[in-house]
Amino acid sequence: MAIIEVEGISKTSPAEVLERARAAGIKVVDLRFVDLPGTWQHFSVPLSGFEEDFFTEGIGFDGSSIRGFQAINESDMLLIPDPDSATVDPVLQVPTLYLVCNVVDPLTRQSYTRDARHIAQKAEAYLRSTGIADVSYWGPEAEFYIFNSIRFDQNAHSGYYFIDSDEGIWNSGGNTTANLANRPRFKEGYFPVPPTDKLQDLRSEIMLKLIEAGVDVEVHHHEVGTAGQAEIDMRFASLTKMADNLMAYKYVIKNVCHQHGYVATFMPKPLFQDNGSGMHCHQSLWKDGTNLFFDEDGYALLSDAARWYIGGLLKHAPALLALCAPTTNSYRRLVPGYEAPINLVYSQRNRSACVRIPVYSTSPKSKRVEFRSPDASCNPYLAFAAMLMAGLDGIKNRIEPPKPVDKDLYELEGEEKERIQSVPGSLGEVLKALEADHEFLLKGDVFTSDVIGTWIEYKWTREVEPVALRPHPWEFYLYHDA
């Protein structure tokens, strides 16, 4: 029942949604929206009590209990369901239709400025207003791990985490039951067939459930890491639609894994000494059905507009990462040696560059840029909108990126190595970068100063400072005998 959204114009009437829901035997309508950090929130009503005018009048909820939203003295908020998002939930047992909603202030009836989905929609409207392009297409590759168990705790006198996976190479010596071996070694999990790849059927089931949810899937496979690292690639879509798809993607993956006794995590770096999980974001701009990023005479078949777009991404990368790699754990991933894209350059084929130009095809339709530093811990509505705004700033100001580098960037030495700048190494650094460099995000009122300030304060007080206060297990190895 998921229907592709076209530039914010509703293709489905509320009456059609309710008619199809009744025909499909739906019992429950689930209303979903995203909090500021990027997690789906929801509540449900019986189909019998769901009125058509909810699509225009909205349904109330307490905004003070949602992360990054309202103060308690201004808590009343409204959800406005998007009829084009109507989807039969593929993982719940009770027949349920979910609707993705926008958030509205009940007094002014204006869209809520901290509603990330609204920010994504404003970014798409701003793109059209510039005349540069009429649509941007997005194809994020969100990696994740599938574990058998994640245990963790932190208190005044202890702190630990313990991950386990039947597929983890560390279980090769286990002798509590018959050990059937066949596990990918560290950093050798890319593309082995079963039985080394123990999760083929599980990923296939996830893929089919995603398709049921209206998310087009192109391919799934085991990723590089041992212990169940995976990737399921979605077909590209426009910005807000792809952010909706990514929320559904994470929801379906987590629920199918849970139903089979596994736990899926999009944490960027759960395992020490193995690859982290990124979200390489393929993106392109189109106008009147033509890909603006293609030029048969350009480096890697890139147009001037594509090169300037890259210039904007690289110039604003430190600030962008506050929204695109927004956790303290993100910077455990963005380190040398694990295929991590930490170098502020672009290159065809080179996976150690922040921006890579895929060269699988010479078709004009396939030309795109791939920003590799983000990860799926982000709020996709904010991350995609921010990347688009940085790229547009690059085009409008004709920002030239550093010359492309096609060598292995980790093997550079001397002066050649010194010229290559790297991404910042901590969440604190990128938050400071965002504080200093966010004017490009305010264009067209896409982001607001309130959203930027709230994001920085939330991340500092809820994540940076609490992590800094707690002793790290490795500190006991280093200092217990001081």
Distance CA 30, CA 87 (A): 10
* Residue whose C-alpha is closest to residue 143's, from 287, 246, 286: 246
Q: What local confidence, expressed as pLDDT, does residue 112 receive?
A: 95
Phi, psi at 313, each rounded to 5°: -60, -45
The three-class DSSP label of residue 87 is strand
Q: How many CA atoms lie within 13 A of 426 on its CB side?
A: 9
> In this structure, are strands 353-357 and 343-348 parallel, antiparallel, or unpaired?
parallel
- Residue 48 β-bridge partners: none
Q: What local confidence, expressed as pLDDT, does residue 1 receive?
A: 39
Mean pLDDT per segment of 10 residues, for the chain of length 482 residues? Answer: 41 93 96 97 96 94 90 82 97 97 93 97 98 98 98 95 96 88 92 94 98 96 96 97 98 98 98 95 98 95 97 98 98 83 85 86 92 97 98 98 81 76 94 98 97 98 97 94 94
Q: So where are the chain's domains?
A: 14-112, 135-479
Q: What local confidence, expressed as pLDDT, does residue 336 receive?
A: 77
14-112: what fold?
Ubiquitin-like (UB roll) (3.10.20)
Q: What local confidence, expressed as pLDDT, does residue 76 receive?
A: 86
What positions carry a catalytic annotation? 62, 141, 143, 223, 231, 280, 351, 370, 372
Q: What local confidence, expressed as pLDDT, does residue 4 receive?
A: 29
Q: What is the pTM of this model?
A: 0.95
Burial of 337 (0-12, 13-18, 19+ CB in 10 A): exposed
- Write down the CATH number for the domain with range 135-479: 3.30.590.10
